[in-house]
Amino acid sequence: MSTPAVRCTDLAKRYGSVVAVDGLSLAVERGECFGLLGPNGAGKTTTIEILEGLLAPDAGHVEVLGLEWAAHEPELRQRLGIQLQETQLTDKLTVQETVRLFRSFYHQGPDVDALVDLVGLTSKRDSLVLHLSGGQKQRLSIACALAGEPDLLFLDEPTTGLDPQSRRQLWEVLGAFRRQGGTILLTTHYMDEAQALCDRVAIVDQGRIIAQDTPQALITALGAPKVVTHEGTLEDVFMALTGRHLREE
């Protein structure tokens, strides 16, 4: 297992005159949790969708689990779990029906009931999606992503808009996946999320990676002067690198 879970080199993607991704390269090792960190519009979603095989890059090379999309799409689809940022699952299906639908697409994986249990929705299994809270919907979406017992999980802003308790519940689900040896590539604009979940983060700005390391190394490299009043955070790192706040538009 020497090949990385994800490797891409010199990715580029533009929409008309807007450059979304501008020569981006990265490698995610097997078993690690890797975070793409950056403000809205930095190119995180475009990057992850290229890696997921949903968008074709204008230039650059992508390998996922050592395979290329063009030649191995059916196999890759069976081995990946994907959660998209804007998907709204069908309102008029229940939790269990939704998971069952997604489970039916995969050759292998846990039982439907086990998946529902894994994301802590057993008490909601017969509720319509319509009646779930934001956090519950997001966990359902993760259950669908886990339906094929994936080697690699792609998550695009998995906790955006969730309350702190819901975020923590979701982190626990992801922690369990990692303890089984799973690899995660996620995007987020929450610093604490990256610090809590990720082994390594890449800071993305204007379609490029401007820094890449462990969260701790990035904070340490920033040096002492910046962090006298509080413990250093990735927010400080981003500000120091770009002179801007992460969350500003």
Partner 1 sequence: MGRGGARHPLVELTLARVREFFREPEAIFWAFVFPLVLTLALAAAFPSAADRQAIVGLVDAAKAPEIQRALEAAPGLRVVPLAAADERRALRDGTVHIVVVPGDPPTYRYDPSKGESPRARLAVDDALKRGAGRADPWTAAEERVAVPGSRYVDWLIPGLIGMGIMTNGLWAVAFPIVNARLRKLLKRMMASPMQRWEYLLAQMLARLIFLVPEATLPLAFGSLALGMPIAGSYAGIALVVLVGALAFGAMGLLLGSRARTIEAASGLVNAFQLPMWLLSGVFFSSANFPAALQPVIHALPLTALNNALRTVVLDGAGAAAVWRELALLSAWGVVSFGLALRLFRWR
Distance CA 151, CA 181 (A): 8
Please say whether the beta carbons of 185 and 34 come within 8 A: yes
Q: Report 110-139 residues binding partner 1 (CB under 8 A).
A: 110-115, 128
217 binds partner 1 (CB under 8 A): no
93 binds partner 1 (CB under 8 A): yes
192 binds partner 1 (CB under 8 A): no
Chosen residue from 12, 67, 89, 227 binding partner 1 by CB under 8 A: 89
Residue 164 CB: number of other CB atoms within 10 A?
10
Chosen residue from 30, 72, 77, 226 binding partner 1 by CB under 8 A: 77
Give residue for tokens 């690198």. 241
86 binds partner 1 (CB under 8 A): yes
Q: Which span (103-111, 117-125, 164-172, 235-243) binds partner 1, by CB under 8 A?
A: 103-111
Residue partners of 91: CB distance under 8 A and separation at least 6: 128, 129, 130
Please say whether the beta carbons of 67 and 140 come within 8 A: no
Chosen residue from 19, 27, 67, 101 binding partner 1 by CB under 8 A: 101
Distance CA 153, CA 183 (A): 6
Smaller CB distance to partner 1: residue 52 or 205?
Answer: 52
DSSP secondary structure letters along 193-244: HHHHH-SEEEEEETTEEEEEE-HHHHHHHT-SGGGSSS---HHHHHHHHHSS
Distance of closest approach, residue 169 Cβ to partner 1, in angstroms: 21
Q: Which span (3-11, 78-86, 177-185, 194-202) binds partner 1, by CB under 8 A?
A: 78-86
Distance CA 20, CA 221 (A): 28
What x-and-dash track marks residues 148-187 binding partner 1 by CB under 8 A?
Answer: x---------------------------------------
Distance CA 158, CA 194 (A): 11
Distance of closest approach, residue 12 Cβ to partner 1, in angstroms: 20
Where on the chain is the footprint of partner 1 (CB under 8 A)?
52-54, 74, 77-78, 80, 82, 84, 86-90, 92-93, 97, 100-115, 128, 144, 147-148
